Amino acid sequence: MAAINIIYTEELGRDIIMLDYNNKKYYFEKSSLALRQLQETFLEIPYARLDVKGKTVLDIGSNMGDTAIYFMANGASKVYGFDCDPEMVELARKNIKMNNLEDLIKIFEMKVTDLQQCMNVIQERERLALKLDCEGAELDIFKADVAMDREGPLKLFDNIIMEYHVEPYHIMTRLYQLGFLDMNRKSMEDSMGKLKYFGYIYSGNKIELE
């Protein structure tokens, strides 16, 4: 369970957000956006199914660094974050520094159009997990990626969680073809209670294909 509070620090001379999670305290720059992001990541826990323990996580759409810190708090060995917004990249790096995680979390300012871009800046090729949240560009990344071939980088990941903003049938079919058998789709409802094309896909329990 997580608790979120605003505290004043003499050292910084301003208010910051203190998050108490799994009996450990984490700190973030204060803003209304940050409060909402932390509530979503640590209280609503949309990424809880992603097994990150002992794994390297690629966090595509890392925003203010909250998900990267969440993955570290849940046992990840290292996190690489990617975001195209320079302001979010700067904020993420500040939040990571406040928590003394600079050696374990690296944030790159990059507009990701295919997974190979990310793989080109990391060395790890085993025990990988992927979180993908690009505000509607997820399908474009899949289409552009050489991962549509079994020889591409998607096959390197043990499990994946991604947000989707379009009909996810093609994405789920492709993941199944790549050997991800345990898939779970969670769709959201709009204000009228109607399902919309927005939600999360979890993929795991991957088998090796011949």
Residue 160 lies in a domain: yes
> What pLDDT was estimated at residue 110?
94
The answer to whether residue 9 sits within a structural domain is no
Q: Answer whether 141's CB lies under 8 Å from 114's CB.
A: yes
Check residue 201 and give its pLDDT. 78
- Determine the structural domain holding residue 82 and report its residue range: 47-206
pLDDT at 128: 95
> Does residue 118 lie within any of the structural domains?
yes
Provide block-wise average pLDDT over 10 residues at a time, the chain (210 residues): 88 90 95 92 92 96 97 98 96 97 97 89 93 78 57 80 77 77 67 57 65
- Supply the pLDDT for residue 48: 92
Residue 69: per-residue pLDDT:
98
For the beta carbon of residue 101, count every other beta carbon within 10 angstroms.
Answer: 18
Does some domain include residue 173?
Answer: yes
pLDDT of residue 169: 76
Q: CATH number of the domain that 87 lies in?
A: 3.40.50.150
Could you tell me if residue 142 is inside a domain? yes
Using DSSP's 3-state secondary structure scheme, residue 64 falls into coil
16 assigned to some structural domain: no
Work out how many domains the chain is built from and give that number: 1
Strand partners, 12: none
| pTM for this prediction | 0.88
Within-domain flag for 21: no
Would you state the pLDDT for residue 181?
72
Q: Are 171 and 179 in contact (CB under 8 A)?
A: no
Number of H helices, E strands in the chain: 6, 10
Measured distance CA(1)–CA(17) in Å, rounded: 16
In a domain, 20, yes or no: no
Does residue 98 contact residue 75 with C-beta atoms inside 8 Å?
A: no
